[in-house]
Amino acid sequence: MSVTDTSPTAAGETSAPLLEISNLAKHFEMRAGALKLTRLVLKAVDDVSFSLQRGETLCLVGESGCGKSTVGKLILRLMEPSAGAIRIDGDDVTHAGGAALRQFRRRVQMIFQDPFASLNPHLNAGTIVGEPLENYNLYNARERREQVAALFARVGLRPEAAAKFPFEFSGGQRQRIGIARALALSPDLIVADEPVSALDVSVQAQVLNLLVDLRDQLGLAYLFISHDLGVVEHIAHRVAVMYLGRIVEIGDKRTIFSRAQHPYTQALIAAAPVADPRVKRDAIVIEGDVPSPLDPPKGCAFHTRCPFAFARCSQETPLLTRRGDGHLAACHLDMP
């Protein structure tokens, strides 16, 4: 069982979390061999625990295939977890169905990676943004139009854009439509899965700044999934690093970027481009590919790539242990 992180708010205080994830797991059973007699278990997410405060941004980072998007889908209840619990304001919604799930979905919305694929090409932008209000039977037709106009203004789109179709917008404008749709039901939490990675670099900063402004104005919490450490440094309050389905380090952004304890985190940060040429980062290089999650290494799952691995690492799985205030890492070493 992993240690549940303590979660200071953006203001540095600790309060009851908006979202609490405890020992969450998603395992897929597979059959291998000519007669499909060999049973394999793929642990896409394993024993993941964290909490999220109102107004806070927790970034989930790691290489592709590390399980970060699966965590997002589990929280959105797009997948059933194999184990663990999801609580919002203390209410257990892990297996909620019917009206309780519908209510939960009002409070937790999503922004997708690909702003084009996520918008119905046959509907105009106004209809797309107003659809959640219609689905939840909120407001009459005139009020809905007013709400949609207000949402367009909030994300920096002109009111006349409501009559246009997705193909008539740029990538950045399409992502603004996706953001407006996510805001329509006034959620408390938005799960954003690589929301700027499909955009031109010049547009990424504009969309990121919009997300930061909306968070600060509306008190939104974000679970922000990204492989881009530059983006994470811009938006995160806290950072959780995943490797082969598990969180290997979690802490506030400043601590993670300046005093990371896990060699994997250190390597990710060392590999990230730095905008300021005066900033030097120690070069920790990891080699090789991520091992197959169907046959993860015994002991520390990172030991096959870790430059600091020693005998114990291949025998014993390191647990998340406290390294400071709200800072946890899963490594047998105690880094300075």
Q: Please state, as a whole number, how many other Cβ atoms lie within 10 Å of the Cβ of residue 20.
A: 20
Residue 161 in contact with ligand SF4, rule: CB under 6 A? no
Piece of 3-11, 83-91, 196-204, 300-308 that binds ligand SF4 (CB under 6 A): 300-308
Minimal distance in Å, beta carbon 300 to ligand SF4?
3
* Contact partners, residue 216, CB within 8 Å, separation at least 6: 55
Instruction: Give, as ranges, the residues between 234 and 263 that touch ligand SF4 (CB under 6 A).
Output: 262-263
Q: Which is nearer to ligand SF4, 162 or 306 (CB)?
A: 306
Among 166, 231, 302, 323, binds ligand SF4 (CB under 6 A): 302
Q: Write down the least CB distance from residue 329 to ligand SF4, Å.
A: 9
Give the residue, chosen from 105, 303, 323, 327, that forms a contact with ligand SF4 under the rule CB under 6 A.
Answer: 303
Identify the sign of the CA torsion 243, 245, 251, 252. Answer: positive
Instruction: Figure out which of the listed residues 306, 320, 323, 327 binds ligand SF4, where binding follows CB under 6 A.
Output: 306
CA atoms in the 13 A half-sphere facing the CB of 203? 14
Q: Note whether 253 and 58 are within 8 A (CB).
A: no
222 binds ligand SF4 (CB under 6 A): no
Residues in contact with ligand SF4, counted by CB under 6 A, come to a total of: 13
Query: Does residue number 126 form part of the binding site for ligand SF4 (CB under 6 A)?
Result: no
| Minimum CB distance to ligand SF4 smaller for 234 or for 262 | 262
Question: Minimum CB separation from ligand SF4 for residue 62, in Å?
Answer: 14
Residue position matching structure tokens 């799985």: 317
State the pairing for strand pair 327-329/91-92.
Answer: unpaired
Using CB under 6 A, pick the residue from 96, 138, 218, 333 that binds ligand SF4. 333
Site membership for ligand SF4, residue 148 (CB under 6 A): no
Rounded to a whole number of angstroms, the minimum distance from the CB of residue 223 to ligand SF4 is 25
Query: Quick one: which segment of 82-90, 155-163, 282-290, 305-313 binds ligand SF4 (CB under 6 A)?
Result: 305-313
Q: What is the DSSP string of 134-181?
A: HHTT-S-HHHHHHHHHHHHHHTT--GGGGGS-GGGS-HHHHHHHHHHH
Within 10 angstroms of residue 31's Cβ, the number of other Cβ atoms is 10
Q: In sequence order, which residues have a C-beta less than 8 Å from that of residue 57 and are 6 or more positions away?
A: 215, 221, 222, 224, 235, 236, 237, 238
Which positions touch ligand SF4 (CB under 6 A)? 262-263, 300, 302-303, 306, 308-309, 313, 318, 331-333
